[in-house]
Each structure stands twice: as C-alpha cells, then as structure tokens.
Chain A
Amino acid sequence: MNPPAGVDIIDANDFKVWKLGLAGAPATLYEGEKFQLEFNFGPNYPLESPQVLFVGDNVPIHPHIYSNGHICLDVLYNHWSPVQTVASICLSLQSMLSSCTSKERPPDNATYVKTARSNPKHTAWAFHDDTV
C-alpha cells in the first residue's frame, strides 16, 4: 500500500473501517496540522460511496467542514463514482483544505450539528461552491 503524500495509515486492518491521518499541505492555512479521517465502507463499496468524516480532537476549521466532522463535498455523496479510491478522496480533501482562504466554520454549523444524523450520507446536501 502506498498512501499519497501527506496521508498515513493509522488503522486499515479490516475491510469495513479505515482510519487515516491527513497532514495539512505545506504553504496552506493548515500547514503543520494533523487530522484524522474515518472511512466506513458499506457492503456495496465501491459502487456506493464510503462514509467519510473527520474524527478526533482536531477537526479542520473550514467553511465546508462541520464541527462534528461531516464534510460537504460532492464526490462523497451524489457525485460519487466507483472509479474513485481512498487515495483520490484524500487528494480531493487535501485540495479542498488547501484552497481555503479563511478558516471558519460553515455559517449553519450550530444548527446542523444539533440536527444531523451520525451518518453524513443521510444529509441532503446542497453543493453550490465551485471555488474549492
């Protein structure tokens, strides 16, 4: 297994749950930070997307990442394609973090975190920001 740069495997010993470490890319707002990602693979992976969220103490402060770790990223939900891999998701997340210009939580963070289910795939996401 060869994880891409900035990604290290914390625990990938079963086929259902993987934990990966994601390092903030150099020369970005998240440089030097370490995050933890959790991948939950359903029985229909890769035809269905895995459930991906940030876990641990340090959830990146980003306009598309909620404080409960849920990530608003289209490729994780209705734009998922079975050719995507864990590596490609990590790359997408790196790119999403790297293009961030101001560290802030989403404006509706408080409400969402209160009402959201534990599985982000049950949320009806609206994707509108094409700049990241």
Chain B
Amino acid sequence: MDFDITDPSDWPKEFGPLREIDSHLRCPICKEYLRAAMMLQCHHNFCSECIRRHLDKESTCPACRVSTSTSQLRRNVSLEEIANNFGDVRQLLLKTVRESLEPKSAPAQTLECAESMDIDDFTPQQKRRRISARVGKALLSAQRGRTHESDDNDHDDDFTMHSQESSSGRKYSTRSSTRPVLRSRGGRSETTPTEQVPNPQSASSSQTSSYSLSEEHTSASEQASPTPAKESTFKHTLVACPVCTMAIPEANTNSHLDKYCFSGKQDPIYNVALSVVETYSPQAIATYEKDGSSKSVSLPASPQRNTLRSAFSSSPVRFNGFAQQPSKLGAQSGAAPIPEPKRLPKLTYSVLNDKQLRKKLQELGLPTHGDKQLMQRRHAEYLTLYNANCDSTRPQTIAQLHKAMDNWERTYMRDLNAKDAQRRAQEEQQQKYAQELAQQKQQEDAASTDVTNLPSSQSSNSGTTGTGFVPNQANNNDVNVAIASQAAQAHKLKNADNYNDLIADIRRRQQREKDAKAKAALEANDAASAPIQPPPQEEL
C-alpha cells in the first residue's frame, strides 16, 4: 500500500498540537481534510458530501446521534478555508517541522558534550556518531583525519590557525566540523552555546571559530547532492528557507520562520534567494551571512521579489501577507460577488414515473438509460455531488461533476455486475448442492427399493407424499402393482427436491419446538444476558 495517504500521526511527537490540529481538520467520516465543511446544530463538522450521504440514510448526527436533517446543515466557511490552506501547506510545513527538529537537537547535544568534555576525554566513536547523523561521508573521512591531529593536543591549534591563514576566503563553517576544535580546547567551549542564539551576531561568532577545508574536501563536498540538510553542512551556513526560499544562516532559520514567513512578512535582513546568493563571490556571501542584504552593497535587491512571487505562484499556497494580491483567491472566497448557486431540491421518487424521472435527468444533462432504480440512484448521487459542490469554497465546474458522475456510473455498474456474478455463483452452488442431495437420495431410495421394504422407506415420509398409493412388497408378483410402484418411485425421484425440502422443513419445525422448549426452560432458570435469536426469517 504505497499510496499518498496522509495521517495526523505523520507529525512528529514533539509537535503534538499539530497532530491535534491535523485531526480536527479532518472529516470524521472520510478521514480526509474537510471538503466544504458543514456544521450540524450539535456543532459537529463533516464534509458536505459525507454528511449528505449519511443523512440520506439516517437522520442522526454520526458523532453524537442527535436527530437532525439536511436542513440543519450550515456552512462552516472559515473552518473549510483553514482545512484547505492547511492541506495546501501541509507538505511544506511537515518538511520544515522535520528539519527544524534536526538542528534543534544538535545544539543540545553540543552543549551536553561540551560540558562532558571538561570532565572526560571524548572518544572518536562519540564524535563519529554525531557526525554521521548529519554529515556526508566525504566530511566524515576528513574528520577522521582530523581526529588524529586533535588527539595530539597542541597540533590542533596550529592546524586551525594554519587552515585559517590558508583559507581561500570561502569558509566552510559547520557546527559539527567546528566541534572537535572547540572541544579539544576547553577554554573556547563557551562559544558553542552562543550558536543556539539565532541572531546574526552568533553567526559571525561561529564564523570566527570556523576553519576551511582544504581544496580536495571542498570538491568532495560539492559533488555531494545538494539536499538542504547537506548543504548546511558542506557549505556556508546559509540555507534556503523552506517557505520563502531566501538564504538564511542556519542558526536563524527558526526565528526567521516564526517572525516572518509564518506571519506572511518579509525578512528585512535576509531577503535574497539562496540560488541568487550562491552566484556571488565568497566574500559577498560571507558578508551576507554576517549582516544580511542590508550591508552587502554588491547584492541587488531586485531578484528577490521575483523569486518570492514565483515561489508562491507555483503552488496554491496563500498566506495572509499575499492575500491582498489580486489572485484567484477573490473568485474563490465566499466574499466574491458571485451569487451562491441554488441547491437542487430532493425529489420524491415514488410519485414520479419513469418518463418524468428521465426528463429530470435530461434537464440535468445526465444519462437517461437504465431502469427506474438506476435512474433514481443516479439522480440521488448527482444531487449529493451537486449540493456538496455548492457548499464548497473551491467549487468544481459542472463538467468536472459530470466526469465524477461518469466514474460513479462505471463503479456502480461494476459493483452491480460483481454482485450479480456473486449471486449467480451462489445460486449455482445451491443448485449443485441440491442436485447432489437428490442424487444421494435417489441412490438411497434405489437401494432401499431393491433390498426390501419400500413401504417402510416411504412410511417415513408418507405424511408428505400423500399419493395414496402404497406399493406393497407382497403384491410384487402382480405386474400392475409393480408398474405402479415404479411409477410412484419415478414420481418421487422427479420431485426429490420438493420432498427434501419438505422433510427438512418438518425436521426444522420439530427442532424449533424442541429449542423453544429448551429455551423456555433455560430462561426460566437463568434470565440473564445473551442475545435472543429470533427465528431466522427465510432460512432454508
């Protein structure tokens, strides 16, 4: 089952409220995000289509069983909009949430390790475990090489100094890579916690402690696939904001998202797309990383607008900040001056004849073939779809509805055929069984007539046969009687089925009487529990 099925449990445990929100935005009937949310007077919300279908069958609220009807349905437009928008942004949000968990847990680990460093020496294993969680193999091997050096105490300082001097200007500052340097010298470990503080200052402070990888490592890291997580570890700490795609220092991601993206504002400091930033010189990137676009003269401000807009025009995501833009939003929301379409009235099918019903279908542009039952179902289905569509803030076109009806027609016919086939198979089986039974009976009877007492074999069902002719063994020498007996036997065989049924019926009646007695006795003894099984109606 590899379908794209979403579920509230997709959200990480740490974001419990998001799970709650997700589950509350789903229809309790179909478990999808609410489509055209409708509220009943008991304040339960359902998809319009789902609740309409349910109310066709039963006049109660599915959640609380309070009696209700279609006329009680009220649109819950804001809930629907929330559900729509949450559904739109879900994938992006989920990605953000998952990514946000990674850097969040990393500084905590750093802190913990930095503290533990003062007490005991870190082991290469410790380091490797942390690194492997976030860093690609190329860096890992570089790190291993470094491990040896940092183990030799003082060389470490030299190495750092040296690499900073020989730096090509492009800095590869990643937290995991700076850690060994910081930790091996206890005096500098206090710089680590500042990395958690999401402001440009911290970005610059982490830069001072950064070192650059030699050229071969650079090329290795550049070969690695540039997924966002890896980008942050291989290159500058700039990452693309998952919402607005602007380049932001990794440490600032969360504050940027909270302050700007999720409230629909624009970050005044970091407002150049990552793809744009990457085209600039290493120095310019460093400046941007430190101070944002405000101080970096070389960065033109124009491309960001386009990127920003294109980022949103490609997806149907709509944020508060962009709501004023003239877009399809206006046409879609309930505030649009388009008059609300009229709901189709329900028909009382029992008072319509085929012709009238066909005419009704024709008026709606629906197919008119089939018997009355099919036409009735077709009309009811279209009514549900059409009225539910009227409730939606993102309505479909009539053509789309008709396409859905075509689908329904196909499914309906398939189900009908499947049911038919099933019924036929069942009937065949029953027939086969009956035939077998009859044959058995035939053989038995044949045996019994051959051997001796036909009368006694017949006497068992004499009450039901009632032919009035009881062939007698004693008269067997009489040819007439013999022929008559054969005729009787033939008659019996021919009607074997009926006889079997009758016999079974009598036995069942007897059994039922017995059971009734037994049950009465039981009930007298023990009046407790257990379902009373009313006699099955048409059991055979």
Q: Which residues of A contact B (CB under 8 A)?
A: 1-2, 12-13, 43, 46-47, 63-64, 72, 81-83, 85, 106-108, 111-112, 115-117, 123-129, 131
Contact = CB atoms under 8 A, between A and B. Distances in A.
Contacts of B65: 81
Contacts of A63: 529-530
Interface residues of B, number: 32
Contacts of B523: 107
A106 B534 contact: no
Interface string B508-532: 0001000100010011001001111
Interface stretch (B50-58, B142-150, B446-454, B460-468): B50-58
Given A83-B28, A107-B522, A108-B519, A123 B536 contact: yes
Contact of A129 (B1, B63, B529): B529
A81 B63 contact: yes
Nearest to A79: B65
A115 B531 contact: no
A115 B536 contact: yes
Nearest to B514: A111
A115 B60 CA distance: 33
B63 A107 contact: no
A111 B409 CA distance: 42
A72 B536 contact: no
A87 B65 CA distance: 20
A47 B533 contact: no
17 contacts: A43-B411, A47-B57, A72-B531, A82-B28, A82-B54, A83-B28, A106-B530, A107-B519, A107-B526, A107-B530, A108-B519, A108-B530, A108-B533, A124-B536, A125-B531, A126-B534, A131-B529
Contacts of B533: 106, 108, 111-112, 123, 126
B422 to A, nearest CB: 12
Contacts of B534: 124, 126
A124 B29 CA distance: 26
B9 interface: yes
Contacts of A131: 529
B363 interface: no
B537 interface: yes
Interface string B467-499: 000000000000000000000000000000000
Contact of A47 (B53, B522, B526, B532): B53
A99 B429 CA distance: 41
Contacts of B526: 107
Contacts of B9: 2
Contacts of A72: 530-531
A117 B539 CA distance: 8
Given A63-B530, A82-B54, A111-B515, A116 B536 contact: yes
Contacts of A116: 536
B529 A81 contact: no
Nearest to B418: A43
A116 to B, nearest CB: 7
A43 B422 CA distance: 15
Contacts of B1: 12-13
Which interface residue of A111, A123, A127, A129 has the most chain B CB atoms within 10 A?
A111
A123 B388 CA distance: 35
A47 B54 CA distance: 6
Interface in B390-430: 411, 415
A127 B537 contact: no
Contacts of A43: 411, 415
Nearest to B51: A82
A117 B426 CA distance: 13
B282 interface: no
A46 B536 CA distance: 27
Which interface residue of A108, A112, A126 has the most chain B CB atoms within 10 A?
A108
Given A82-B29, A107-B519, A126 B63 contact: no
Nearest to B30: A46
Contacts of B519: 107-108
Nearest to B44: A83
A103 to B, nearest CB: 13
Interface string B22-33: 000000111100
Nearest to A78: B58
Given A47-B54, A107-B519, 19 more contacts: A47-B53, A47-B57, A63-B529, A64-B530, A81-B63, A82-B28, A82-B62, A83-B63, A106-B533, A107-B530, A108-B515, A108-B530, A115-B536, A117-B536, A125-B531, A126-B533, A128-B532, A129-B529, A129-B531
A130 to B, nearest CB: 10
Which interface residue of B53, B411, B529 has the most chain A CB atoms within 10 A?
B529
A126 B53 contact: no
A72 B11 CA distance: 37
Which interface residue of A12, A82, A128 has the most chain B CB atoms within 10 A?
A82
Contacts of B62: 81-83
B532 A126 contact: yes
B493 to A, nearest CB: 28
A112 B411 CA distance: 36
Contacts of B63: 81, 83
Given A13-B1, A82-B50, A64 B30 contact: no
A106 B415 CA distance: 36
A50 B65 CA distance: 19
Nearest 8 CB-CB pairings of A with B: A83-B28, A72-B531, A106-B530, A82-B29, A81-B62, A83-B62, A126-B532, A108-B533
Nearest to B58: A81
B276 to A, nearest CB: 43
Contact of A64 (B28, B515, B531): B531
Contacts of A1: 7
B201 to A, nearest CB: 43
A85 B29 CA distance: 9
